[in-house]
Amino acid sequence: MDLSIGEVAQRSGLSVHALRFYEREGLFANPVRRLSNGRRIYYEEDLEWLAICTKLRSSGMSLATIRQYIELVRQGPGTEHQRLELLRRHERQVEAQVQELRETLAVMRHKVRIYEEHLARGDAHQLWNPSHPDAAQAETRQECQPSDGA
C-alpha cells in the first residue's frame, strides 16, 4: 500500500520536516520512491524501519552510525557480523546510560527524601541557604551518601 508523506508523518509521529531530513541524511533503509509528479511514496516497510531508526536515535546512536548500519544492510548478505558488532557496541553504550540513570535516580530519590524530612521537621529553610554555611555542607554530605534502597 502506498503511503503519502503526511500519512507516514501521522503514523510514525515524526513531522513531515523530520521525514524529509531523514531522507536527505540517507537514514532510510531503502531510497524513498517518488511518483512521476515528484511526490514521495512510502511503504509499510518504511514505517517499520522508521520505528527502529527513531529508537536508535533516541538511544543516542549517532546519525553517522545509523548510516553505517544502513550501508551494511544495503550491502546485503555477508555483513551480518559487522552489523551485529555495531549493534553490540551500541547496546553496551545504552547499558552504560541506563546504569548512569539508575545512579542519578538514586541520588534524586535521596534528595527528595532529605527535603521531605526537613520540611516535615520545619527546618527546610536551612537547606542550601547561603546565609547558613553549615546547612549547605550538611545537605551535600546527606546527598552524597544515599541510604540503602535509595
Q: Which of 18, 38, 37, 39 is nearest to 28 (CA)?
A: 18
CA distances from 13 to 16, 70, 75 (A): 9, 21, 29
d(CA 132, CA 107): 23
CA–CA gap between residue 40 and residue 59 (Å, rounded): 28
* Alpha carbons 146 and 125: distance in angstroms, whole number: 21
Query: Would you say residue 30 has pLDDT above 90?
Result: no
Give the mean model confidence (pLDDT) for residues 4-12. Answer: 95
User: Residue 124 has what pLDDT?
Assistant: 84
pLDDT value at 150 more than 50: no
Read off the C-alpha cell for 36: 512521476
Tell me the residue type at 12.
S
Label residue 20 by pLDDT band (50, 70, 90). Answer: very high
Taking phi over 0 as left and psi of -120 to 50 as alpha, with beta for the rest, 42 belongs to: beta
Residue 125: predicted pLDDT:
84
Q: What is the mean pLDDT of the chain?
A: 88
Domains of the chain: 1-76 (1.10.1660.10), 92-150 (no CATH)
Q: Give per-residue pLDDT as tens, 107-149.
A: 999 999 999 999 999 988 888 776 666 555 555 555 455 444 4
> Position 104: which residue type?
T
**Contact residues for 25 (Cβ-Cβ < 8 A; gap 6+):** 63, 67
Question: Is pLDDT above 90 for 21?
Answer: yes
Give 11: exposed, middle or buried? Use CB within 10 Å, 0-12, 13-18, 19+.
middle
Distance, C-alpha 11 to centroid of its chain: 20
